[in-house]
């Protein structure tokens, strides 16, 4: 396999995790000898920094921006209409560019691209990150017409098989982490100094977005009843941050908003615990997700508390993480209070999860996907 055209309908750079995942995947493909061209829409963007520098990835692949009609930041035009206009115009623009590269393997995590391109070109591989509750013809067309499906969890694979996709068409490739980036040399105390965090307090950190299915509100509710611990929420959109600040007003809850990704290793190392509180009320959080932050947490050597949902149990067992019952604020409170000072047990779990994360590097992920594509 000589070349991959990775077609991504994503604003790059952006503060959202999916674009980081795309950039790290392309970097790792290229490090394994594949010529990579990342094709993205030329969208309006308030972030002016170079994408390679923004994500701190090696500039070993090409980024091509093709035209689209972008009204997504326009508050007058309905969002759904703007989304489809942008998606469709990007599809036609990307298709025109693709015709100039007929010998490439085409790779995407975009539904419209996977649903429409396979009839126009050769080998399209579709990376699937979720399955909707209601499956329409576009999804079925994407699954059936793609040469192969790369899914990020066992839960997605099982659901696709239930919906009629052939098992031998699917490979599981969970998300990953740059282990060296998160296994920093700074101590907990040094990391706290760097971030101006208190040295004399127990600290719990959550990183990522504040959507309902991610369960951050569960952690915030628990924090309101544990005054002796400081809770830091790192990430979130402006809308969600505003909601959190209005609804969770305890003095020990700190809403930090989006932080540069290069600072996240220090946030993780500064904590006594990291929490991954996925809700079980939606299938994406319970069954389908493969959170980047899970692997970042594991690589940081900091103890983890997680809701016991199948998507996380695919990766970690009870020797590597403290589990609590999903959506149960009282059980989360209990786990925190019982273990916040249990240094020996916590360190043992952190060590075990760090040992396991070694196989979840971006390089290993890329090698696995390349071998899968070559086998087909």
Cα separation of the two ends of the chain = 11
pLDDT in tens, 95-150: 888 877 777 889 999 998 898 876 666 689 999 999 999 999 999 999 998 999 99
Q: Which residue has tokens 């070559």? A: 374
- Concatenating the DSSP letter of every residue in 285-301 gives IIII---HHHHHHHHTT
Using CA atoms, how far apart are residues 320 and 333, in angstroms rounded to an integer? 19
DSSP string, 125-182: EEEE----SS--HHHHHHHHHSSEEEESSHHHHHHHHHTT--GGGEEE----B-HHHH
> Would you state the pLDDT for residue 98?
83
How many CA atoms lie within 13 Å of 120's alpha carbon, on the beta-carbon side? 18
Note if the bond before 13 is cis, omega within 30 degrees. Answer: yes
**Residue 58, pLDDT above cutoff 70:** yes
Q: Which domains does the chain have, with CATH numbers?
A: 3-176+361-375 (3.40.50.2000), 179-357 (3.40.50.2000)
User: How confident is residue 250, by pLDDT bands cut at 50, 70 and 90?
Assistant: very high
Q: Where is average pLDDT lowest: 16-30, 40-54, 169-183? A: 40-54
CB–CB of 257/244 below 8 Å?
no
Distance CA 8, CA 14 (A): 13
Distances (CA, A) of 111 to 145, 205, 255, 291, 372: 12, 33, 33, 20, 20
Map 169-225 to HEC letters: HEEECCCCECHHHHCCCCCHHHHHHHHCCCCCCEEEEEECCCCHHHCHHHHHHHHCC
| Alpha carbon distance 354, 348 (integer Å) | 10
Which tens digit of pLDDT belongs to each residue from 191-242? 999 999 999 999 999 999 999 999 999 999 999 999 999 999 999 888 899 9
The CA angle 127-306-214, to the nearest 5 degrees, is 55
Residue 81: predicted pLDDT: 82
| Predicted local confidence at residue 217, as pLDDT | 96
Q: Which of 331, 337, 252, 264 is nearest to 302 (CA)?
A: 264
């Amino acid at each position: 396999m000589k070349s991959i055209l990775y077609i991504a309908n994503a604003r790059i750079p952006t503060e959202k995790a999916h674009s980081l995942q795309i950039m790290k995947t392309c970097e790792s493909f290229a490090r394994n000898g594949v010529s990579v061209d990342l094709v993205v829409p030329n969208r309006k963007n308030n972030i002016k920094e170079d994408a390679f520098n923004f994500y701190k990835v090696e500039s070993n692949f090409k980024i091509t921006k093709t035209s689209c009609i972008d009204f997504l930041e326009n508050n007058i035009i309905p969002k759904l209409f703007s989304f489809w206009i942008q998606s469709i115009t990007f599809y036609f623009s990307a298709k025109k560019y693709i015709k100039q590269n007929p010998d490439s393997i085409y790779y995407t995590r975009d539904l419209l691209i996977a649903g429409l391109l396979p009839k126009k070109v050769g080998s399209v591989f579709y990376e699937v990150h979720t399955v909707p509750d209601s499956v329409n013809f576009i999804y079925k067309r994407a699954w059936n017409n793609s040469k192969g499906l790369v899914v990020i969890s066992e839960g997605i694979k099982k659901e696709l098989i239930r919906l009629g996709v052939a098992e031998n068409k699917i490979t599981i490739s969970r998300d990953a982490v740059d282990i060296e980036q998160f296994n920093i040399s700074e101590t907990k105390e040094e990391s706290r100094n760097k971030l101006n965090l208190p040295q004399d307090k127990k600290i719990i950190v959550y990183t990522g977005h504040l959507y309902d299915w991610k369960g951050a509100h569960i952690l915030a509710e628990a924090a309101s009843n544990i005054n002796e611990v400081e809770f830091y929420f790192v990430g979130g959109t402006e809308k969600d941050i505003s909601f959190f600040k209005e609804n969770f007003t305890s003095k020990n809850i700190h809403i930090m908003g989006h932080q540069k990704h290069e600072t996240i290793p220090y946030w993780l190392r500064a904590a006594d615990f990291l929490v991954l509180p996925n809700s079980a009320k939606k299938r994406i959080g319970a069954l389908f997700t493969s959170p980047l932050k899970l692997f970042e947490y594991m690589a940081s050597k900091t103890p983890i508390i997680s809701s016991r949902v199948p998507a996380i149990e695919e990766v970690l067992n009870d020797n590597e993480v403290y589990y609590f019952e999903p959506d149960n604020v009282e059980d989360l409170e209990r786990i925190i209070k019982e273990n916040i000072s249990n240094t020996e047990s916590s360190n043992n779990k952190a060590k075990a999860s760090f040992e396991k994360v070694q196989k979840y590097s971006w390089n290993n992920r890329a090698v696995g996907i390349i071998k899968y594509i070559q086998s087909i």
